[in-house]
Amino acid sequence: MTDGSSKIIEFFTFKRVILPIIIGIGVASYLVYRSFDIKVFQNIQWAYTTFLWLFVALCLMFVRDLGYMYRIRLLTDKKLSWRRSFQVIMLWEFASSITPGVVGGSAIAFFIVNKEGINMGKTTAVVLVTSLLDELFYILFVPIVILLAGYQNLFIEGANFALFNTKFGSMGIFFIGYIFMIILALIIFGGIFINPRGFKWVIIKIFKFKWLRKWLGGAIKTGDQIITTSREMKGKPFSFWIKAYLSTIFSWTARFGVVNFLILAFVTGGDHLLIYARQLVMWVILLISPTPGGSGVAEFVFADFLGEFITLGLAPALALLWRLFSFYPYLFIGAIILPGWIKRVYKIK
C-alpha cells in the first residue's frame, strides 16, 4: 500500500463515516420522540401522489449529481469519462459528508481530482472554479428569491445561533454568511481573472509573518497554482462559462427542490416558493456547522425553518426522510466506491 493510498484511507476512516450517522439519526430520533403523535402518522393519506412526489424528489437527487458530473467533465475538458466523473463526485460528496460544514470537502477534492491524472494546475483550476460557480449561484439567486418570496417572510423569530462566541438570530447569521460568500467569490475571481501574480504576492507577504512562516512554502506553491489556474481559465470561450453556470443552476435548483417535493408528498398546499427561499437561509447555517456534514444541526434547523409548512408533529420525521434522501446515500456510496477507486488510481492488483 503506497503512502498516498494509506493517507486517503486514514481520512476516510470508519470513525469519520459512522460519526455523522450516529449524530444525525440520534438527533432525528430524539426530535421524533419528543413530538411523536400516533394520530399524525395514522392520518397520513398514502395516495398515489405521495409516491409520485417521493419519486420526483429521488429523481432530483440524480439530477443534482448529473449536473455536477457534467460540470466537472466540462472543467476538465472532458478528460474524465462519465464513469470517472461519477466516482469523483461521489467521493467529493463523501468527503463533504464526513467533514464539518465550515471545513467542507474541497481540501480532499484537490487530491481526488489530481489522482485522476489531472495535473495540479488544472486540478486547482477545477476546484477553485467549482467553488466560485457555487458561490455565484447563491449570491445571484438570493436577491431574486427574496424579491419573489418576500423579505419579511424569510427569517424566523426566536432562533439563535452561536458564532465567534456571539449569538445571532437567523437574519444575522444569514447576512454574515452571505457577505462572507461575496468576499470569497471576489477573492477567487480577482485571483484567477484579474491579477493572479498580485494575489500570489499578497499571500506570500501574509505568510512571511513570524507565526505563519512555517506555511510559507505551501503559500508559494498555492500562489503558483493560482497563476497556472489563471492561464487555464482566461482563454475559455463565453459558451464554456454559460454551460458551467447553467449546470451549476441545474444542480443547486434540484438540490433545494428535493425538500419541496418531500413536503408535497405528505402535505397539500403551502407556499413552495417560500419553502425554497427558507432553504437558502438554512444553507448558510449548515455551512458554519461544526458537526460532520451538518449532522444534528440540519435536523434541528429543518424543523425550525420549515415546521410551519408541515403537519404538527410530522416535521422531525420529514427531516429524517430528507437526510435519508440527500445525505446518507453519499456515505454509503462513497464507502462502496472508495476501495475500487484506490485500486484503480494507484494501480493496485
For residue 338, how many C-alpha atoms fall within 13 Å in the half-sphere facing its CB? 23
The model's pTM is 0.86
What H or E segment, with its residue span, contains residue 162?
A: strand 160-163
Instruction: List the one residue out of 53, 41, 85 whose CA is nearest residue 337.
Output: 85
Tell me the C-alpha distance between 290 and 99, whole Å. Answer: 9
Helix axes 82-97, 48-75, angle to 10 degrees: 110
Helix axes 272-287, 120-149, angle to 10 degrees: 140
* Angle formed at CA 289 by CA 100 and CA 65, multiple of 5 degrees: 65
Chain centroid, CA 28 distance in Å: 20
Tell me the C-alpha distance between 49 and 119, whole Å. Answer: 48
3-state secondary structure of 218: helix
- Between the alpha carbon of residue 181 and those of residues 147, 188, 200, 258, the distances in Å are 19, 11, 21, 23
The per-residue pLDDT of the chain, averaged, comes to 83
Tell me the C-alpha distance between 265 and 44, whole Å. Answer: 10
Instruction: List the one residue out of 138, 173, 135 whose CA is nearest residue 155.
Output: 173
Helical H segments across the chain, by residue range: 3-11, 14-34, 38-42, 48-75, 82-97, 106-115, 120-149, 170-189, 196-206, 216-234, 238-266, 272-287, 297-306, 315-326, 328-345
Helix axes 14-34, 315-326, angle to 10 degrees: 160
Q: What is the pLDDT of residue 291?
A: 76
Tell me the C-alpha distance between 181 and 169, whole Å. Answer: 18
- Between the alpha carbon of residue 326 and those of residues 95, 183, 254, 330, the distances in Å are 14, 28, 11, 8
- Indicate the length of the chain as a whole number: 349
Q: What is the pLDDT of residue 223?
A: 80
What digits encode the pLDDT tens for the residues 45-86? 788 888 999 999 999 999 999 999 999 999 999 999 999 999
What digits encode the pLDDT tens for the residues 35-54? 666 666 666 778 888 899 99
Q: Which residues of the chain have pLDDT under 70?
A: 1-10, 32-33, 35-43, 101-104, 157-168, 212, 348-349
